[in-house]
A and B are shown apart, each in its own frame.
Chain A
Amino acid sequence: MNDKMEIMNGGKALMKALEREGVKEVFGLPGGANLPMYDELYKSNIRHILVRHEQSAAHMADGFGRVSRKPGVCFATSGPGATNLLTGIATAQADSAPMVAVTGQVPVNMIGRDAFQESDIIGMSNPSVKYAFQPRAVEEIPEVVKKGFYIAETGRPGPVLLDIPKDVQQNEAKVTFPDEVRMPGYHPWTDIDMVNIERAVDLLLSSEKPIILAGGGTIISSAFAELQSIAEMLMIPVVTTFKGKGAFPENHPLSLGPIGMHGHAEANKIMTEVDCVLAIGTRFSDRSVGTFEEFERNLKIIHMDVDPAEIGKNQTAQVAVVGDVKASLRVMLKLLAKKVLKKSDGNNWLKHVNEVKDYWRENLKLHPGEMSAAKILRKLREVLPKESIVTTEVGQHQMWASLFFDAIHPGTFFSSTGLGTMGWGFPAAIGAKVARPDVAVVDIAGDGSFNMTENSLATSVLEDIPVIVFLINNYSLGMVAQWQRTFYDRRMIGIDLKKCPDYVKLAESYGAQGIRAQSLDELGKAVKAGLNSDVATVIDIPIDPEEDVLPFVAPGTSLKDMILPS
């Protein structure tokens, strides 16, 4: 160890530790309490991507992390810089995204004295981080960085906060960089649970109307091939949670799409008929299953998850398999291969499922206008290369994307599904583009959400990270408007955004490309122009402000109570 010992300041120790973790980019905004680390960032080989608001830095790191499956890194100063990060940190926590957030803090001897720009970010962030460190000496920095990355990316991923007092960034000390760290209370991986995998196989094979429910954990552990092999071997239909969208190709004959509040009609209908569900990497969110009691009533649940605390939290499982779902599914696949002699593609259950699917695909009533949500999103799918990455904001456009935009390539669809953070999609798209500069990245946005982080256009243009904002514009906070129309007898309040701003001019003022698309033909051309553009493209797509998202499972009701378009 001694030969690695070097004298340096805390800021430099941080940069070296980040470089050792393979970090090439950080998203951030400097301020008083993180200037010493920025001075070392200046001298390092790490690229700094300047944001206009710290929340966007966190979302960019989040988008980067979800796509690359390595922690995205964001920097902010103390006080308001740190509190601005919080929404982004909580978003990453709710969706199990790997992230390392580094904040400056007031000097150690000022902590607790209500110093200028002091906030107790360790205390504030506690329920929203996987772990937080506040190193009080330079020597601790390499170890907390190593631990932070290990915690953020292993097991169920999540955000880790490193809160570094200014003097700890500045002081010099002899530091060593560990290759391994020890955390006696952290056991992210468990052994393969053979006994329960065997029980799961037996339960699955003995059921008459099985289904696979793929959650976000399927995407996080890249269990795409295993999922598809099992579905095809058993000829079992596959639904996903909204977060699991993209776990299974939505153009596959066995795919029924997402279930839930705004799930596909056929997915929700079939979900109420099944007798056994193989649930992979899901926490059974209320948005996915409706009321917990009703969902599990007539159902045997096989629950696979890397997080033991998810077992039995929202749903009672007959068989629980704790562990990395990819590893567990591999073992399951081997066991199934021995037991299943031939593909049972002619079974009555699948026949029924296909009838229901065909019926709803043909008969779901859609908005009649040319620029209806379904038509514009299907147009986007038609024009956009299949390997492109899509993010969304939060609201009606997001649920329309769930309904009408098919995610085909594995792991190409990302959204703030847990915390439901408006403003997430655009900065997350920028982060995704940094992780995957080789593919197109599109943020399917609504105007209300885009307003929240639209100043990231500056980052996109000036840092040369071109993405497309597919702005479905109903000049309102559309989802709130829909709830006011549906549940509050049209007492409309606080939802009218008027025609402000003009998004074409807004885009142009940032040096981005702004295009208004008022027909499907114009829309197709605009997306192509975006794909060929060197700068960000905002496509403003005015739609009917009264268009609702349907089907709809109202909050506090169950999937069988789904409201259909009339």
Chain B
Amino acid sequence: MSVMWAILSIRVENKPGILFKVTHLFRARNFNIDSISVGVMEDPEFSKMTITTVGTEKQIAQIVKQLDKMIDTIEVKRLDEKESVYKELVLFRIKSNEESTSTEISKLADTYGAKIHNGPEGSLIAELTSTPDKIKAFEELIKPFGILDSARTGVTAL
């Protein structure tokens, strides 16, 4: 059975301990979390968790059912990649000691719609909000300059 990537959008009650329970469920049932992002919704009674995961069709169906069974989850949706917007914010700190590298990085950033900030000790910080594939492609291009550090939020989607 082939393994696929899935985006799960989970509306939960905004109470302490729920993130723990959701992640515990993934661990206990031997499922994978590829990325996770959480934030309060417009109604502060609820939070929205976006989890990306990989598994077979059967495993993903089972993840959805087990999440749905949780009393703290209000709604569990598997988002269709084609019909939803899914984005992730990533920050890369890139080595840039010379003027020429800085220009080159800025050019690459422009093509991907990334913003460039000045970082410490002659480094640049590229800020990119995009899909995981495009982030991956951008990462490959800037790798030769030297990535000193990075941080990403995990996918969020609607």
Contacts and interface: CB of A to CB of B under 8 A. Distances in A.
B20 A308 contact: no
A469 to B, nearest CB: 35
B66 A183 contact: no
Interface stretch (B69-77, B114-122, B150-158): B69-77
A130 B21 CA distance: 12
A126 B73 contact: no
A307 B61 CA distance: 14
A429 B151 CA distance: 57
B97 interface: no
Contacts of B24: 126-127
Nearest to A130: B71
Contacts of B61: 312
A394 to B, nearest CB: 23
Contacts of B72: 185
A555 interface: no
Contacts of B28: 127
Contact of A185 (B17, B20, B70): B70
Interface in A434-487: none
Interface in B7-47: 12-13, 17, 20-21, 24-25, 28
9 nearest A-B residue pairs (beta carbon): A309-B65, A186-B71, A309-B69, A127-B28, A185-B74, A185-B71, A309-B66, A185-B73, A184-B74
B131 interface: no
B interface majority secondary structure: helix
Given A127-B24, A185-B72, A185-B73, A308 B13 contact: no
Contacts, number: 38
A183 B71 contact: yes
A308 B25 CA distance: 16
Interface string B50-73: 000000001001100110111111
A131 interface: yes
Contacts of A185: 12-13, 70-74
A307 B25 CA distance: 16
A313 interface: yes
20 contacts: A123-B20, A126-B20, A126-B21, A127-B24, A127-B25, A131-B71, A151-B71, A184-B74, A185-B12, A185-B72, A185-B73, A307-B69, A308-B68, A308-B69, A309-B62, A309-B65, A309-B66, A312-B58, A312-B61, A312-B65
Contacts of A151: 71
